[in-house]
């Protein structure tokens, strides 16, 4: 429950603002409600207490006047007087809870009237402390807050007021206790509490709705800016932020739109420059083919001259032929890169057995290697739809690099497959690369060690083109390397266009190499095929 809210709290300023406002408002309403309830309860209780004391004093004076006006001296007369006094108290007081008793500790008086009680509820409510205060105190009145317990067990708050009455003819002093039930006051206070709770709930709901509406209004310009930025990121270069009819947010809109205009102009310039660059590379590559062909033909004529050439000139002609071949390879790679940059790549796919294709490439390159090259096919015999020319170029480049940098060590080429993908890995035990070098291994014209003597030539574009060839098939080309241990390149291809994510059937970490922190692993990682717009021509 708290997890989604915590995530929403971290991501949404609107949620944080509404939550903080709600908490602060709720705290203020709580403090105000407690203060109001306390004030109302205290005022109600003080008012009822003062009424009870006044009422008790009035009833006590009326009872004492009744006693003073009587001349009763015998038992029967005093009993009649006690009954009359109780009736006067009930008539003069607003309460019918009356308890009259002779104070304890006085001299015995046989004619003294017995205690008079209207209900046992009042007798249980009179505490020994209150009785002692009335008997021993000098104040005319004493009171105490009590709780009345009805016969059915229900309770109600109340006040008991105690005073004294002086009876004639030696009967002595009597204690008068009058009880006042405050159930109606408690009901009034409960009604006020319910009213305040309902009002507080309605106020919180109203404030919450008001804060939500104000937040929506306040964040509307930000949402408009976010929507415009998403449209620009999606490729709608003409997307702009509308005016917000506010002097401050209109400044934001104008600044955002000016930035978008500048960005659109710069993107247009970059697109034009990129198109010119692509056209330049393509045109230069095509234009260079004609003189290069002429130079190659002249080199071949010189090499095949029947008269022969002096040794020094013969060597120069051979070097010329070698460099012409490298120049032709460079032009071919440049043309291929320009096609990828321009998005004019066409795949000529056909069902291809990758095991046979790999063995064919390895057999062609095996004479150039001083070490053994092993092909270990664990799977992948089922044909898949690929462009065999481009896949052959990837494998040739990876095996050629392994021969070039393998330092004479054995080279292992593995092939395996699962239900979703086919993988080919080329592993050597050569010099390897550092982590920094590994980050640039697929960059154009980048070489880990430019000073190394190259056996197979190369243009510096092989891995860049190989990565593009893998991407147009929806596959991924990855590399692992460690200095002094070797390198491992892995090509993973999906089994069809419907496959959007897959697990490579081969690990990126070579066999027998211990795992270090930072080593990439692919034993359980899902790979997602990159998005490419290409045109495919199927050949049968």
Q: pLDDT digit string (tens) for 8-18?
A: 777 777 778 88
Where among 149, 165, 189 does a domain terminate?
189
- pLDDT of 220-272, one tens digit each? 877 888 788 888 777 777 788 887 777 777 787 888 888 888 888 887 787 77
Nearby residues of 338 by Cβ (< 8 Å), 6 or more positions away: 278, 281, 282, 285
Domain that holds residue 250: 246-344
DSSP category for residue 87:
H
58 or 520, which is more confident: 58
Where among 319, 344, 369 does a domain terminate?
344
For 449-534, list the strands marked E by DSSP. 476-482, 486-494, 501-503, 526-528
Please say if the pLDDT value at position 416 is more than 90.
yes
Q: Which of 535, 132, 476 is nearest to 347 (CA)?
A: 535
| Residue at 368 is within a domain | yes
Across residues 199-223, what is the average pLDDT?
Answer: 84
Residues 331 and 417 occupy one common structural domain: no
Q: Which of 178, 144, 171 is nearest to 62 (CA)?
A: 178
Residues 320 and 369 occupy one common structural domain: no
pLDDT at position 178 is 92
| Residue at 175 is within a domain | yes
What is the C-alpha separation between 170 and 112, in angstroms, rounded?
A: 8
Where among 143, 159, 189 does a domain terminate?
189
Write the DSSP assignment of 361-375 as a string of letters: HHHHHGGG-SS-EEE
Whether the CB-CB separation of 417 and 380 falls below 8 Å is answered with yes
pLDDT at position 413 is 93
For the record, the structure tokens of 23 come out as 């908490």
Whether the CB-CB separation of 145 and 126 falls below 8 Å is answered with no
- pLDDT of 292-334, one tens digit each? 777 777 777 777 765 666 776 777 777 777 777 777 767 676 6
Residues 362 and 475 occupy one common structural domain: yes
CA 247 to chain centre: 34
Residues 420 and 445 occupy one common structural domain: yes
101 or 277, which is more confident: 101
| Residue at 224 is within a domain | no
Please tell me whether residue 158 adopts helix, strand or coil conformation: strand
pLDDT at position 349 is 87
Computed on alpha carbons and rounded to an integer, the radius of gyration of the chain in Å comes to 52
Residues 431 and 527 occupy one common structural domain: yes
Residues 340 and 361 occupy one common structural domain: no
Nearby residues of 342 by Cβ (< 8 Å), 6 or more positions away: 275, 278, 282
75 or 448, which is more confident: 75
Domain count for the chain, please give it.
Answer: 3
pLDDT band at residue 73 using 50, 70 and 90 as cut-offs: low
The CATH number of whichever domain residue 70 belongs to comes to: 3.30.450.20
Residues 331 and 399 occupy one common structural domain: no
pLDDT band at residue 528 using 50, 70 and 90 as cut-offs: low
pLDDT band at residue 539 using 50, 70 and 90 as cut-offs: low
Residues 151 and 40 occupy one common structural domain: yes
For the record, the structure tokens of 218 come out as 């306040």
The CATH number of whichever domain residue 264 belongs to comes to: 1.10.287.130
pLDDT at position 492 is 93
pLDDT at position 523 is 44
What is the C-alpha separation between 118 and 96, in angstroms, rounded?
A: 7
pLDDT at position 540 is 43
Residues 77 and 31 occupy one common structural domain: yes
Residues 352 and 319 occupy one common structural domain: no
Phi-psi region of 453 (alpha: psi -120 to 50; beta: other; left: phi over 0): beta
Neighbours of 81 (CB within 10 A): 22
pLDDT at position 230 is 82
- pLDDT of 334-368, one tens digit each? 667 766 666 667 788 899 999 999 999 999 888 88
Please tell me whether residue 152 adopts helix, strand or coil conformation: coil
Q: What percent of the chain has pLDDT over 90?
A: 15
Residues 333 and 364 occupy one common structural domain: no
pLDDT at position 533 is 42
The CATH number of whichever domain residue 515 belongs to comes to: 3.30.565.10
- pLDDT of 386-414, one tens digit each? 999 889 989 998 998 888 887 778 899 99
What is the C-alpha separation between 540 and 336, in angstroms, rounded?
A: 25
Whether the CB-CB separation of 455 and 403 falls below 8 Å is answered with yes
Please say if the pLDDT value at position 531 is more than 70.
no
Residues 53 and 33 occupy one common structural domain: yes
DSSP category for residue 307:
T
What is the C-alpha separation between 467 and 338, in angstroms, rounded?
A: 14
| Residue at 16 is within a domain | yes
- pLDDT of 435-458, one tens digit each? 888 888 888 777 665 555 555 555
Instruction: Note the pTM of the prediction, 2 decimals.
Output: 0.50
């Amino acid at each position: 429950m708290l997890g989604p809210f915590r995530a929403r709290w971290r991501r949404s300023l609107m949620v944080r603002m509404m939550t903080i406002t709600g908490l602060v408002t709720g705290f203020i309403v709580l403090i105000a409600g407690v203060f109001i309830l306390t004030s109302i309860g205290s005022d109600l209780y003080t008012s009822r207490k003062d009424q009870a004391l006044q009422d008790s004093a009035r009833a006590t004076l009326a009872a004492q006047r009744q006693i003073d006006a009587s001349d009763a001296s015998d038992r029967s007369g005093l009993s009649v007087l006690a009954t009359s006094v109780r009736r006067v108290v009930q008539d003069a007081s607003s309460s019918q809870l009356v308890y009259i008793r002779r104070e304890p500790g006085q001299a015995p008086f046989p004619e003294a009237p017995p205690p008079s009680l209207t209900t046992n509820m009042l007798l249980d409510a009179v505490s020994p402390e209150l009785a002692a205060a009335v008997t021993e105190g000098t104040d005319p009145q004493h009171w105490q807050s009590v709780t009345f317990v009805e016969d059915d067990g229900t309770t109600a708050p109340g006040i008991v007021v105690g005073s004294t009455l002086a009876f004639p003819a030696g009967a002595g002093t009597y204690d008068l206790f009058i009880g006042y039930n405050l159930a109606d006051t408690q009901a009034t206070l409960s009604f006020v509490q319910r009213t305040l709770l309902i009002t507080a709930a309605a106020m919180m709901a109203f404030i919450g709705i008001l804060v939500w509406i104000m937040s929506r209004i306040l964040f509307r310009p930000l949402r408009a800016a976010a929507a415009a930025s998403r449209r620009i990121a999606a490729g709608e270069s003409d997307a702009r932020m509308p005016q917000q009819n506010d002097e401050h947010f209109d400044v934001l809109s104008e600044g955002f739109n000016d930035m978008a205009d500048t960005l659109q102009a710069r993107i247009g310039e970059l697109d034009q420059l990129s198109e010119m660059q692509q056209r330049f590379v393509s045109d230069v590559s095509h234009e260079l083919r004609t003189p290069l062909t002429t130079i190659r033909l002249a080199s071949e004529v010189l090499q095949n001259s029947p008269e022969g050439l002096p040794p020094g000139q013969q060597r120069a002609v051979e070097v010329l032929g070698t460099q012409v071949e490298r120049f032709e390879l460079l032009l071919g790679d440049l043309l291929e890169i320009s096609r990828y940059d321009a998005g004019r790549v066409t795949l000529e796919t056909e069902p291809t057995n990758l095991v046979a294709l790999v063995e064919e490439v390895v057999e062609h390159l095996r004479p150039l290697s001083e070490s053994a090259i092993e092909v270990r096919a664990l799977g992948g015999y089922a044909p898949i739809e690929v462009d065999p020319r481009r896949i052959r170029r990837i494998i040739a480049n990876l095996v050629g690099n392994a021969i070039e940098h393998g330092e004479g060590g054995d080279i292992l080429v593995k092939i395996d497959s699962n239900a979703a993908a086919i993988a080919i890995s080329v592993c050597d035990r050569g010099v390897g690369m550092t982590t920094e070098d590994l980050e640039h291994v697929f960059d154009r014209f980048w070489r880990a060690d430019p000073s190394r003597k190259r056996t197979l030539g190369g243009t510096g574009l092989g891995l860049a083109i190989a990565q593009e060839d893998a991407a147009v098939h929806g596959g991924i080309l990855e590399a692992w390397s460690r200095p002094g241990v070797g390198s491992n390149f892995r090509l993973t291809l999906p089994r069809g266009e419907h496959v959007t994510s897959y697990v490579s059937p081969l690990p990126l970490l070579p066999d027998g190499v211990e795992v270090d922190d930072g080593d990439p692993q692919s034993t359980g990682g899902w790979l997602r095929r990159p998005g490419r717009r290409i045109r495919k021509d199927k050949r049968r």
